[in-house]
């Protein structure tokens, strides 16, 4: 077995040193009745593994062989080759949580840089070392708000927040004595500001709004922050498409207390939905309640700058059931990828990605609006994602498009059966005008059947 470096002779001399006659003797404390070998196939060679996995990989449509317009929380943005290749370095890949700063300065400094990037993008003061992904980041943000605003039990959430984020909040809240009130969107696709304010009262500890919201519509953060602050609640800004942060007014400028969400768009491949990159940022005043890992700057015994994990007294390995959160790991490698990506694109590139995504989405919106039978139900401005309503059920339409090499959007019926005809389309800098013309033409075809096309990149 190629991952096991012990020779037979070494094993024999190790057993002798231990003073037992066989490895089996070392398992004597496990009752014999439960020592049952698994019924698994024989070991596979690397060649066979490549064959098996290559086969499974080829049975999926993906962003490199399709005209790709899927979003709804995971986005197909540009990632530089170096951002992935750097992850192969053993010093990044095969190290662990930097508990020992003297031999972990690389990871620690990279996290410190990641924290800085997230602060610059969100306009917040402090960001943590990353969280699992967007939905659990929202949970952690709400639980943090609950700690900061004591003795209240209601969180008010806009229905523009990703439905899987809201479902996750419900899962976590079910036994904590915390309630969720959801506020609908207005007819233009934005959160109904009056309804939001009306839902917030003296029992509310947090108000959360997502922008761009799940329909791609840009919200004014102030709708959430003003409703929250009027009643002494924490304003939580949720971001699922972090590429937008380079173009849209950041939550920090609008007075948000906590910004959280998903940073996958900033340098992390889609990975079929995971690993992603949750983040959470807040105000300096609240930094000691921030959940998850944090890296701080300090100095070593010779006075040189150094970094280490800090404020670990909030964490469960010390506080146990009184900890701020039960989370233990962060998304270290994804935060590194994102740090590399944000550093490469920087001030100009992050903005250009956002501008291109937006301009292309506007082009596709205009093209689809002209297709008979299709309409854009939301009149409010969008960033790079928008909802389309077609003449018939969206799911079968999108399946037909997919068979023709176009991943044309995500049907809303998955989360909302009444929106049977609606789907959400995402556009990024990766999409070409030709692909967008093809999607519009396919929709214009006989109920969206994708016709043969010279540029068709069909599934093999």
Partner 1 sequence: MSVETDPSTVSTEGKASGRGDRLHPEPRHEPLVFERSGPGKIGYSLPPLDVPEALAIPPALVRGEIEGETEISEVEVARHFTRLSRLNFSIDEALYPLGSCTMKHNPRTNEEMARLPGFAASHPLAPEEVSQGTLELAWRLEQMLIELTGLSRVTLQPAAGAQGELAGILMVRAALAKEGNPRKTVLIPDSAHGTNPASAHFAGYKVKELKSNARGTLDLHVLEEAMTEDVAALMLTVPNTLGIFEDRILEIARIVHAKGGYLYCDGANFNSFVGVAKPGAMGIDVMHMNLHKTFSTPHGGGGPGSGPVAVVPRLVPFLPRPTIERRADGGFFLDFDRPESIGRLRTFLGNYGMFVRALSYIAAYGNRIGEVARGAVLNANYIRAGLTGVYHLKYDAPSMHEVVFSDKKQAEKGVHNGDIGKRLMDYGFHPPTISFPLIVHGALMIEPTETEGKPGLDAFIAAMRAIAREVEEDPRIVLDAPHTTPVKRVDEVGAARNLILRWSPGGRPDTPDPVR
270-289 residues near partner 1, rule: CB under 8 A: 270-276, 287
Among 299, 379, 416, 455, binds partner 1 (CB under 8 A): 299
* Of 127, 142, 223, 228, the one binding partner 1 by CB under 8 A: 127
- 231 vs 395, which CB is nearer to partner 1? 395
154-158, strands of its sheet edge to edge: 126-127, 278-282, 258-262, 234-239, 204-210, 154-158, 179-183
Instruction: Show the site string, 178-217: x = touches partner 1 by CB under 8 A, - = not.
Output: ----------------------------------------
C-beta of 406: minimal distance to partner 1 in Å? 10
The nearer residue to partner 1, 4 or 202, going by C-beta atoms, is 4
Name the residue nearer to partner 1 (CB basis): 381 or 391.
381
Kindly give the pairing relationship between strand 410-411 and strand 126-127: unpaired
Q: How far apart are CA 448 and CA 104, in angstroms?
A: 54
Burial class (CB in 10 A: 0-12, 13-18, 19+), 161: buried
Nearest Cα neighbor of 273 from 70, 43, 44, 50 is: 70
Q: Which is nearer to partner 1, 181 or 402 (CB)?
A: 402
Query: Using the rule CB under 8 A, is 460 a contact of partner 1?
Result: no
Question: Residue 380 in 3-state DSSP?
Answer: coil
Does the protein bind partner 1 through residue 395 (CB under 8 A)? yes
| Contacts (Cβ under 8 Å, ≥6 apart) of 34 | none
Asked whether the bond before 275 is cis by omega within 30 degrees of 0, the reply is yes
Of 125, 103, 110, 419, nearest to 288 by C-alpha is 125
Q: Which of 8, 46, 202, 454 is the binder for partner 1 (CB under 8 A)?
A: 46
Span 77-116, contacts to partner 1 by CB under 8 A: 78, 80, 82, 84, 86-107, 109-113, 115-116
Asked if 53 is part of the footprint of partner 1 (rule: CB under 8 A), the reply reads yes
Span of 75-83, 148-156, 193-201, 371-379 interacting with partner 1 by CB under 8 A: 75-83
Q: What distance in Å separates the CA atoms of residue 417 and residue 406, rounded to the nearest whole number?
A: 23
Verify binding: residue 41, partner 1, rule CB under 8 A. yes
User: Residue 82 CB: number of other CB atoms within 10 A?
Assistant: 11
Residues 278, 190, 257, 266, CA torsion sign: positive
* Cα distances (angstroms) measured from residue 400 to each of 293, 332, 393: 45, 39, 12
Q: Is 387 in the site for partner 1 (CB under 8 A)?
A: no
Quick note: the x/- pattern for partner 1 over 219-258, rule CB under 8 A, is -x-------------------------xxxxx--x-----
Residues that contact partner 1, how many (by CB under 8 A): 213
Name the residue nearer to partner 1 (CB basis): 167 or 232.
167
Residues 300-359 that bind partner 1 (CB under 8 A): 300-311, 313, 315-323, 325-334, 336, 339-340, 342-353, 355-356, 358-359
Residue 417 is encoded by which pair of tokens? 């059966």
- Cα 76 to Cα 68: distance, rounded to the nearest angstrom: 8
Give the torsion sign (CA, 394, 187, 161, 121): positive
Query: In angstroms, what is the minimal distance from the CB of 130 to partner 1?
Result: 8
Report, in Å, the least distance between residue 422 CB and partner 1. 14
Of 10-18, 223-231, 368-376, 447-455: span binding partner 1 (CB under 8 A): 10-18
Please state at what angle helix 163-173 crosses helix 134-148, rounded to 10 degrees.
50
- Closer to partner 1 by CB, 271 or 373: give it: 271
């Amino acid at each position: 077995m190629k991952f096991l470096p012990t020779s037979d002779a070494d094993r024999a001399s190790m057993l002798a040193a231990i003073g037992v006659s066989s490895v089996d003797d070392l398992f004597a404390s496990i009752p014999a009745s439960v020592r049952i070998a698994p019924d698994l196939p024989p070991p596979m060679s690397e060649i066979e593994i490549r064959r098996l996995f290559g086969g499974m990989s080829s049975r999926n449509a993906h962003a490199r062989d399709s005209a790709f317009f899927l979003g709804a929380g995971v986005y197909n943005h540009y990632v530089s080759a170096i951002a992935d290749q750097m992850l192969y370095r053993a010093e990044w890949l095969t190290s662990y949580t930097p508990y020992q700063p003297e031999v972990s300065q690389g990871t620690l400094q990279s996290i410190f840089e990641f924290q800085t990037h997230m602060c610059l993008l969100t306009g917040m003061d402090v960001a943590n070392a990353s969280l699992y992904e967007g939905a659990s980041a929202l949970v952690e943000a709400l639980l943090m708000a609950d700690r900061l605003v004591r003795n209240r039990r209601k969180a008010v959430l806009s229905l523009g927040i990703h439905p899987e984020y809201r479902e996750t909040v419900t899962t976590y809240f079910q036994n904590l004595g915390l309630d969720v009130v959801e506020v609908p969107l207005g007819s233009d696709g934005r959160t109904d500001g009056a309804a939001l304010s009306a839902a917030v009262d003296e029992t509310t500890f947090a108000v959360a709004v997502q922008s761009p919201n799940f329909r791609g519509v840009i919200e004014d953060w102030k709708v959430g922050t003003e409703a929250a602050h009027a009643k002494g609640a924490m304003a939580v800004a949720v971001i699922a498409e972090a590429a937008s942060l380079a173009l849209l007014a950041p939550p920090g400028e609008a007075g948000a207390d906590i910004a959280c969400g998903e940073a996958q768009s900033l340098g992390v491949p889609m990975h079929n939905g995971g690993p992603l990159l949750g983040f959470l940022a807040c105000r300096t005043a609240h930094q000691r309640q921030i959940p998850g890992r944090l890296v701080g700057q300090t100095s070593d015994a010779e006075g040189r700058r150094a970094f280490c994990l800090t404020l670990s007294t909030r964490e469960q390995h010390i506080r146990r059931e009184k900890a701020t959160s039960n989370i233990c790991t962060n998304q270290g490698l994804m935060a590194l990828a994102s740090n590399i990506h944000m550093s490469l694109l920087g001030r100009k590139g992050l903005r250009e990605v956002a501008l291109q995504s937006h301009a292309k989405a506007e082009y596709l919106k205009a093209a689809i609006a002209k297709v008979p039978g299709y309409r854009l139900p939301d009149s409010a401005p969008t960033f790079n994602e928008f909802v389309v309503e077609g003449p018939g059920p969206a799911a079968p339409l999108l399946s037909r498009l997919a068979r023709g090499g176009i991943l044309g959007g995500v049907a809303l019926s998955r989360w909302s059966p009444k929106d049977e005809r609606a789907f959400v389309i995402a556009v990024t800098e990766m999409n070409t005008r030709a692909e967008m013309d093809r999607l519009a033409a396919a929709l214009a075809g006989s109920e969206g059947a994708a016709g043969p096309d010279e540029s068709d990149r069909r599934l093999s």
